[in-house]
Structure 1
Amino acid sequence: MESSPTTARTIPQLVRRAAESFGDRSALEDGAVSLSFAGLAEAGLQATRAFCAAGIRPGDRVAIWAPNIHEWIVAAIGLQSAGAVLVTLNTRFKGAEAGYVLRKSGARILCTMGEFLGTDYIGLLEHEHLPELERIVVLRDEAEGALRWSEFLAQGNAFPAAEARQRAAAVSPDDLSDLLFTSGTTGSPKGVMTTHGQNLKVFEVWSGLVGLRAGDRYLIINPFFHSFGYKAGWVSALMRGATSLPHAVFDVPAVLERIAQDRVSMLPGPPTLYQSMLAYPERGKYDLSSLRLAVTGAAAIPVELVHRMGRELGFETVLTAYGLTESCGVVSMCREGDAAETIATTSGRAIPDVEVRCIDADGKELPRGEPGEVVVRGYNVMQGYFDDPSETAAAIDAEGWLHTGDIAVMDERGYLRITDRSKDMYIMGGFNCYPAEIENLMYTSGAFAQVAVIGIPDERMGEVGMAFVVPASGKDVTPESVISWCRANMANYKVPRAVEIVDELPMNASGKVMKFMLRERARG
């Protein structure tokens, strides 16, 4: 069907077609706020008018720094329908981290919070030099020097609705839809550029393979600043006619309560989400019978967890997938009907019309069963890193293959088993942690001559960070003082959970830290 949301090629087109197809059905529920698909389209139009009235032009960048709330979705639809590029900021960022992304992206408007969970977001930016940031809008509450969301929307009345619709209609599938910043292994976050058309093609495939359908009630715990909460989240829900239920803070009893009260059927998340639910002693008090679909990834999972998710949590379908920001979030997926062992021990096979290989150091494809670097080619590969042609050239070769840096074994069926992640990256509770970035942040303290961060196994979080620190001359450093400084200066998930003070780090002949020796030392 030409007018189906699943064939939309831009996000504004998707919103309009979802309104036409699903009308008065519930699209978005957040506390006392409930919007139908038609109502969400109207709210998005008003936001489009506001961004246009504020002078936003096609190609401009607009940032959102906020938790999972309905205003986030409306703001994103509005700015993207105005032709702007969405820049997402991690809610756990400290001021320097957020300031870097805002400067690098050249964002003209920031949509954020007055305060959330004790964090004064605007206050964190007080000492940041942000020459291109013209306006701050607070989505909830109010803050000095910022415009309230309701006032911002009201200013949109000055921009004609008909012109806003024309602006939305003019957005092309080849226009950039978003810049999602990923730290990579260089330490400096890079803005991954992807387009409307490629994102919608990827998540039409993803949502179809997962089995998301009209009437599903989708509890979105995965953060909107990440592909998993944004593209696999509310965008996919719009595409399939599911109801988005944003959830701002993960807390096991609150999630169990929402599943029971809101009759949640779709609940993706990292393995730790399901492990926490299964471990909760009072789980039996809650009616979880509505649960149907689970999608996980980010870490290897025990086969028994897959069995328990079906047996004890009631999921009919549990799937695993693999992807990275540079691939619009998806490279491979398991399929419905795959055995529990396949789901637990692999990340599935390539999504349709995408090529995946494992290669050796010379770029030659390896025989099945031999470990090699995963490379990907197809419509899911990013356009490049924003304003960073050298890093783009390092990531995507002349033949169009995206080099992921991840090591995997591909079996005879084409299923991938990831054996080692991007260089030294580790995953803590579903969050990608890049040692190079954490090390660079730690060096800014001036207290350390050398720093090396590795991931170590953790029963609850999967992996956590451990830092080996050589103190700077004359500096008195303790593990406690290192962790305290890190908590004050970086997002919580980046903070090393263990610190060892050492006299020197093991180095090879070219002066590189031999992290495999540190991993052996950490294992004892």
Structure 2
Amino acid sequence: MTHTIPAALGDAADRFGDHPAYVQDGEVVSFLELLRRVRRAARAYVALGLQPGDRVCVWAPNSIGWVVAALATSYAGGTLVPVNSRYTGHEVADVVDRTGARIVVVADGFLGRTQVDDLRAASDLSSVLAVIDLVDLPDLDLGSVTTADVDRLAESVSPDDPADILFTSGTTGRSKGAVSAHRQTVGVARAWGELGGVTGQDRYLVINPFFHSFGYKVGIVTGLLTGATLYPVATFDLDETMQLIETERISVLPGAPTIFTSLLNAPGRADRDLSSLRLAVTGAAVVPVVLIERMRDELAIDQVVTAFGMTEAVVVTMCREGDSAETVATTCGRAVPGMETRIGPDGELLVRGDYVMLGYFDDPEATAEAIDADGWLHTGDVGVLDDDGNLSITDRLKDMYISGGFNVYPAEVEQTLARMEGVADVAVVGVPDERMGEVGKAYVVGTARPDDVIAYAKERLANFKVPRHVEVVDALPRNLSGKVLKTQLRGD
């Protein structure tokens, strides 16, 4: 069984050969061709001076080139550092400098920006050997480095070597880099693929960003292990997505809840044939129950499952095929093989097992704070486990607020309001109140009027849970993983 990314790539080329690995904008790349491109890029990295263990940052949207740049890093024995494609030059420079990255691969001009200039303006990039525009990667000078040279490097990679450093979304302060070993990245991708029943017959639409574990680990790496054909999406466009599903007969679609909400509410959906979808996997701290019901009923997806994961542990729990509709709609499933869960004394979810990160990059204090002496990762999420071990996330510890002495979990209020007609999206935060300490404020997207929202909540919730303020907004602020940025709503 393969336990490193280079081994998974080589094995995929042997097993799946000319079967399409990637399809994007009319370009089809087989598993054999993918290996050829990765080997060439790895030779270029080594020719530039990359050494085993060196970091490579990839700052670009989803593309076949991104996959090549990333896999070449592993093939040359390096450590991949994916960077959020929407980051500014200053934010990327911070990651480059903190990780001492030797190579930075950039999609210069993405979204009409000047990434390379912005990066150079933000830092002297003292650790960097080269900044490479992604379009130039196939044509870089190879020097005297041979394919045999990089094959030897690929074979020397150990399952315990660091494979990647994924930075957290930074919604609670400065982002931290979660380090995973090859055995962890490959292992979690395998577990996810097996639980989803992913095979070489699947056509897998990857809307999730490759810089995120949902796109990279259970996208790119799961594709290598299963032979599924991946369709990368650089920027989410609703009509284009529906067209892709219809024309390419997409069968697997993981994504944040907002993706499925958009599909369900799309004006042209009735004219599209989306019947090829067989597996949809969604997850976030909280998924509206009504969304799962609509995905099954209105999109007619055979297998809708929810899962829970985080940068520090990728996939922790997942529903299984055959789970009841209620289990899928109200829980995130139970621990995946190799992981265990328990609830701490303050209601916090603790997780332990094979896929918990090695630690935060160059930050032993933060690592010790996150992972206790017994190996339990403290997630910061409040949750409950039922008798079968199915996890329900009730909220983030930091999002809970106390109103009149009572704990209020905004997620419960949001689940209630999400069922109201005229509410397309909703987020609730605690705001200061002279008398109650804090009260709820609901930010609502849709046509519902504030007074009606409050009246609806009063009928269904205890008084202390009812939001005292309602503001109708055009959209909720979210990061690219789909999480609502409640720090912005609260003005933290």
Normalising by structure 2, we get a TM-score of 0.81
Partner of 2:305: 319
Relative to structure 1, is the Cα distance of residues 225 and 38 closer, same or farther in structure 2, using a 3 angstrom cutoff? same
Classify the secondary structure of the residue corresponding to 2:355.
Answer: coil
Distance 2:17 2:232 in 1: 20
Relative to structure 1, is the Cα distance of residues 310 and 380 closer, same or farther in structure 2, using a 3 angstrom cutoff? same
Q: Which runs of 5+ in 1 are unaligned?
A: 1-6, 141-147, 362-371, 436-453, 461-485, 501-514, 516-524
Partner of 2:260: 274
Q: Is 1:132 aligned to residue 127 of structure 2? A: yes
Partner of 1:345: 330
Distance 1:352 1:223 in 2: 25
Q: For residue 391 of structure 1, report the CA deviation from its aligned partner.
A: 0.7
The one of 155, 159, 164 aligned to 1:169: 155
Partner of 2:403: none
- What is the CA deviation profile of residues 492-524 of structure 1, one whole-angstrom value per residue up to 9, with x for unaligned ones? 986987688xxxxxxxxxxxxxx8xxxxxxxxx
The one of 182, 192, 208 aligned to 2:168: 182
1:225 aligned partner, one-letter code:
F
Answer with 385-394 or 126-135: which moved more. Answer: 126-135
Conserved? CA contact 1:300–1:344, under 8 Å: no
Partner of 1:100: 94
Partner of 2:36: 42
Matches within 5 A, 1:68-107: 68-107=62-101
Distance 2:306 2:224 in 1: 22
- What is the CA deviation profile of residues 291-312 of structure 1, one whole-angstrom value per residue up to 9, with x for unaligned ones? 1110001143333322322232
Distance 2:20 2:139 in 1: 26
Distance 1:302 1:319 in 2: 13
Partner of 2:358: 383
Conserved? CA contact 1:101–1:189, under 8 Å: no
Partner of 1:399: 374
Distance 1:193 1:497 in 2: 28
Partner of 1:122: 116
Q: For residue 127 of structure 1, report the CA deviation from its aligned partner.
A: 2.7
Distance 1:359 1:316 in 2: 35
Q: For residue 81 of structure 1, report the CA deviation from its aligned partner.
A: 0.7
Conserved? CA contact 1:11–1:80, under 8 Å: yes
1:139 aligned partner, one-letter code:
L
Distance 2:174 2:290 in 1: 38
Distance 1:496 1:119 in 2: 26
Conserved? CA contact 1:89–1:98, under 8 Å: yes
The one of 203, 214, 221 aligned to 2:189: 203
Distance 1:499 1:357 in 2: 30
Classify the secondary structure of the residue corresponding to 1:189.
Answer: coil
Q: Which runs of 5+ in 2 are unaligned?
A: 401-409, 415-426, 430-439, 447-476
Distance 2:222 2:162 in 1: 18
Partner of 2:107: 113
The one of 45, 55, 58 aligned to 1:64: 58
Classify the secondary structure of the residue corresponding to 2:230.
Answer: strand
Relative to structure 1, is the Cα distance of residues 300 and 288 closer, same or farther in structure 2, using a 3 angstrom cutoff? same
Matches within 5 A, 1:208-219: 208-219=194-205
Matches within 5 A, 1:505-516: none
Conserved? CA contact 1:68–1:223, under 8 Å: yes
Conserved? CA contact 1:81–1:167, under 8 Å: yes
Q: For residue 120 of structure 1, report the CA deviation from its aligned partner.
A: 1.7
Q: For residue 330 of structure 1, report the CA deviation from its aligned partner.
A: 0.8
- What is the CA deviation profile of residues 436-490 of structure 1, one whole-angstrom value per residue up to 9, with x for unaligned ones? xxxxxxxxxxxxxxxxxx9955447xxxxxxxxxxxxxxxxxxxxxxxxx99xxx
Matches within 5 A, 1:216-227: 216-227=202-213
Classify the secondary structure of the residue corresponding to 1:307.
Answer: helix
Distance 2:490 2:336 in 1: 41
- What is the CA deviation profile of residues 240-292 of structure 1, one whole-angstrom value per residue up to 9, with x for unaligned ones? 11001000111110100111121111111011111111111211222212111
Q: For residue 377 of structure 1, report the CA deviation from its aligned partner.
A: 1.2
Q: Is 1:416 aligned to residue 391 of structure 2? A: yes
Query: What is the percentage of aligned positions where both structures have the same residue?
Result: 46
Conserved? CA contact 2:204–2:230, under 8 Å: yes
Q: Is 1:252 aligned to residue 249 of structure 2? A: no
Q: For residue 422 of structure 1, report the CA deviation from its aligned partner.
A: 5.3
Number of residue pairs aligned between Structure 1 and Structure 2? 425
Conserved? CA contact 1:185–1:422, under 8 Å: no
Matches within 5 A, 1:418-433: 418-421=393-396, 423-424=398-399
Partner of 2:466: none
2:340 aligned partner, one-letter code:
E
Distance 2:397 2:489 in 1: 22
CA RMSD of aligned residues (A): 2.7
